[in-house]
Amino acid sequence: MSVGLLWLIPMLPLLGFLALAATEGRLGERAVAVIGAGSVGLAALLAVPVTVGFFELPADTGFSQTLWVWLDVAGFRPAFTLYLDGLSLVMLWVITGVGFLIHLYATGYMSGDPGYSRFFAYMNLFVFAMLMLVLGNDLLVLYLGWEGVGLCSYLLIGFFQQDPANGYAARKAFVVTRIGDTAMALGLFLLFRELGTLEIQPLLGAATAAWPEGSATLTLAALLLLGGAVGKSAQLPLQTWLPDAMAGPTPVSALIHAATMVTAGVYLIARLHDLYLLAPVAQTAVALTGLATLFIAAFAALVQTDVKRILAYSTMSQIGYMFFALGVGAWSAAVFHLMTHAFFKALLFLSAGSLILALHHEQEVTRMGGLWRRLPWPFAGMLVGSAALAALPFTSGYFSKDAILLTAFDAPGGFWLWSVALLAALVTALYSVRLLVLVFFGQPRWQQSGREPRDRGGIAMRLPLAALSLLAIGGGWFGLSPVAAVLPDGGVGHGHGGWVMWATSATPLLGVLLGLLLFQRWGAVVARLGTSGGTRAVRRFWLSGWGFDWLYRQLIERPFVALARINRNDVVDRVFAALAGGALGVNGLLSATQTGRLRWYLANMAGGLALVLLIVLGVL
C-alpha cells in the first residue's frame, strides 16, 4: 500500500546526509545540489502517494509503521515506529514541501561558498531529525529528533566558522535550548515513572485513566514539557537565542528558525493535547507564555534595524500566537497558523536573502531604501509575505490568525486576552509596513555605499519565491480537515459573527494605514522621536528585546563566572595535587635519611638490630 512508503520519507534525507558526509566536500557543486535538494524533493514527492494512501484508510485511524525496536530492557521497549495521522501529515507536508523549496533556494544562494557540501549535509540531517520528531510514535524517538534538530541548529548557526561571533551565537542557542531540553527530559522521566511507557497513544490513554483532572503530578509533567517547548520555540523566558541565531545563512533562518524547528514546541503540545486538557493550570501557562511573548516580540520588532532581526522577532511573536492558541483551546487554529506561518515567513526570509545578496551582504535597513524598482523579485516576495504576516483579509495569515483571535475571545477572561492579542496584531501590521517602507521606498540610502544593487537570482532562487507567494496567498483556503480528526476542537472554526469579527478583520488594515502614516508620511518625525529623551530610552529597551540579555547576564552569567573564578584552582584538582604533594613530601623525608655517611648507616643497622631483638624478646 502506498502509505507504506512512509519510511522512505525520513530515510531519503538521511541518505543524503550520509552521502554528503562521506564524500566530505569532494563532489562538485552540481552533484551536491542534486543530492542535497534532491533528497528532500524526492521525500516531498513521496508524500503524495503516502497522503493519498492515508486518505484511503478508514477515517479517524492513524497509520503505524514499525521499523525496528530500539531497546528492550526490563519491559521498556521503545521502537522506531512512524505514526501518521492528520497532525503529523500536516507537519510532514510543511517540512518536506517548504523544506524542499528552501533547499532549492539554497542551491542558488549558497553557491560559491567553500562549505557548500557541508551546508547541505547539515540541512539534510536536520530534515531527517525533524521528520523523526514529527513522525515518531514514541516520545523517546521524538526526543531523538528534538536533540537532532538542536544539534543541526547549532551546526548551521555557526556555519560561517571564521567569525567567532557566529560560534558564540551558536553556543548561545544551544545552551539556552538545552535548559529547555533538560526540563523536557525531566518531564519525560516523570511520565515514564508514573505511566510506564513513552509511546504516545498508550501514554495519553494511560494518563487519562490514571490521573484526575488537575492532578499535581500531571501538571508538573505538563509544565516541564512546556519548558522544553519554550526553549525550542524561543518563547519567554528562553527566547534570547533567536535574534542572535540570525548569524546563520538566510536559508537556515528560513528553514530552521521560521518554518520548522521553532515550531517543534507547538507540535509537542498539540500532540500531547490530552495531557494539557487534563491540566488546566499548565494550559493556562501555555496561553500566558504565548501571550507575553507575542506582545513583547512585536514591540521589539518595531524598532530593529537589521532586516533579519526584524523577521526573527516577528517569528518569535507569531509562535507566541501559536502557543496562545494552544492555551485557549484553539488547537487546530494553532496548527493551521503553524502551516501558514511556514509559508509566509519562509517567503519573507528568502526574499530578505535575495535582498541581502543583491545589496552585497548589507543587512541594515538604515542603509537601504527606494529599491522597489531595482529589485522586483525581493520586493514582490516581501510584499506578499508581509501582507500574509499582517493578516490582511483573504491571505492565508488572515484565516489562521483570525481563527486564533476569535477562539480566544470565547475563552474565560477572553476579552482581555483578545484585546492584547489584537493590539499585538496591530503592531505586527505596523512593523511589516515599516520594513517595506524602509527597505523599498523612500530615500535611496544605499547609495552611500556606492555599490549597485543587483538582483542576482537564478531560477533556483526565484521559483521558491513564486511558489511560496502562491501558498502565502492561497494557503488559507485549505482549512485543515485532517487535523480535525486528531485535535479536540474539531477543525478551524470560521463561525463567529458580530462586531468581534469585524474588529478582528479590520485591525490589520488599520495597522497598515497607521504604518504608512507613521513611516512613510511622517517618517522623519518618527525617526527623530527615536533619538531624544524618554522615547529614546523606550526605543533602546525594545531594541534589546526588553532587556532579557542584560537580565540573564546579571542573574546567571555573572554569579556563575564569579563562582568559576573562585574555583579557578579547582577544588577537586587540589585533592589530587595534594596526593602528589604528599608523595613528594614523603620522598623528601626518606631522602633525608640517605645522608651518605657511613656511621649513620651503621647506627641504623644497630638500631634495627636492637628493635628486632626487642621483638624477639617479646617486649614489643
What residues make contact with another protein under the rule CB under 8 A?
591, 594-599, 602-603, 606-607, 609-610, 613-614, 617
Judged by beta carbon, residue 413 or residue 608, the one nearer another protein is: 608
Cis peptide before 237 (omega within 30 of 0): yes
Q: Is the dihedral of CA 196, 201, 202, 206 positive or negative?
A: positive
| 410 closest CA partner among 348, 353, 329 | 329
- Give the shortest CB-606-to-another protein separation in angstroms: 5
Question: Measured from the CB atom, is 74 or 598 closer to another protein?
Answer: 598
Query: In this complex, which beta carbon is closest to another protein, that of residue 449 or of residue 595?
Result: 595
Q: Is 307 exposed, middle or buried (0-12, 13-18, 19+ CB in 10 A)?
A: buried
Instruction: Closer to another protein by CB, 522 or 601: give it.
Output: 601
Give the nearer residue to another protein in terms of CB position, either 450 or 618.
Answer: 618
- Cβ 582 to another protein shortest distance, Å: 20
As a whole number of angstroms, the distance between CA 173 and CA 169 comes to 6
Which residue is listed with cell 545589496?
359
We find the least distance from the C-beta atom of residue 616 to another protein, in angstroms, to be 8
Q: In whole angstroms, how close is the CB of 592 to another protein at the nearest point? A: 8
Report the b/e string of 218-239 with b at 16+ CB within 10 A: bbbbbbbbbbbbbbbbbbbbbb
Residue 143 CA to residue 182 CA, distance in Å, equals: 11
Min CB(599)–another protein separation in Å: 6
Nearer to another protein, 22 or 586 (CB): 586
Of 412 and 618, which has the nearer Cβ to another protein?
618
**What one-character-per-residue DSSP string does 254-282 give?**
HIIIIISGGGHHHHHHHHTHHHHHH-HHH
Element (H, E) at 535: helix 533-543
Using alpha carbons, select from 337, 437, 445, 318 the residue that is nearest to residue 383.
Answer: 437
DSSP states along 557-614: IHHHHHHHHHGGG-HHHHHHHHHHHHHHHHHHHHHHT----HHHHHHHHHHHHHHHHH
The answer to whether the CB of 134 falls within 8 A of the CB of 13 is no
Rounded to the nearest whole angstrom, what is the least distance from the CB of residue 587 to another protein in the complex?
A: 11
10 Å Cβ neighbour count for 99? 30
Determine the Cα–Cα distance for residues 195 and 172; give it in Å rounded to an integer.
34
Q: What minimum distance in Å lies between the beta carbon of 586 and another protein?
A: 15
Helical ranges in 370-452 per DSSP H: 376-389, 396-410, 414-440
Answer for the pair 454, 358: CB distance below 8 angstroms, yes or no: yes
Task: CB nearer to another protein: give 448 or 591.
Answer: 591
Task: Give every CB contact of residue 326 below 8 A, 6+ residues apart in sequence.
Answer: 266, 269, 270, 273, 276, 283, 286, 287, 290, 334
The distance of closest approach from Cβ of residue 605 to another protein in the complex, given in angstroms and rounded to an integer, is 10
Name the minimum Å distance from CB 581 to another protein. Answer: 19
575 or 620: CB nearest another protein:
620
Widest CA span in the chain:
114
* Whether 54 contacts 4, CB under 8 Å: no
Helix (H, G, I), strand (E, B) or coil at 136: strand
Within 8 A by CB and 6+ apart from 235, the residues are: 229, 265, 289, 290, 293, 316, 319, 320, 323
Least Cβ distance, residue 611 to another protein (angstroms)? 9
Query: Between 112 and 596, whose beta carbon lies closer to another protein?
Result: 596
In angstroms, give the least distance from the CB of 580 to another protein.
20
Q: Which is nearer to another protein, 572 or 617 (CB)?
A: 617
CB of 583 to another protein, least distance (A): 17
Cell readout for 63 is 497509520
Residue nearer to another protein on the CB measure, 531 or 591: 591
String of DSSP letters for 283-316: HHHHHHHHHHHHHHHHHHHHH--BHHHHHHHHHH
Compute the residue count for the chain. 620
Q: How far apart are CA 240 and CA 297, in angstroms?
A: 11
- Considering the complex, state which of residue 175 and residue 609 has its C-beta at the smaller distance from another protein: 609
> Among residues 214 and 607, whose Cβ is nearest to another protein?
607
Residue type, 232: K
Considering the complex, what minimum distance in angstroms separates the CB of residue 73 from another protein? Answer: 60
Shortest Cβ 584–another protein spacing (Å): 14
Report the C-alpha gap between 309 and 65 in whole angstroms: 41
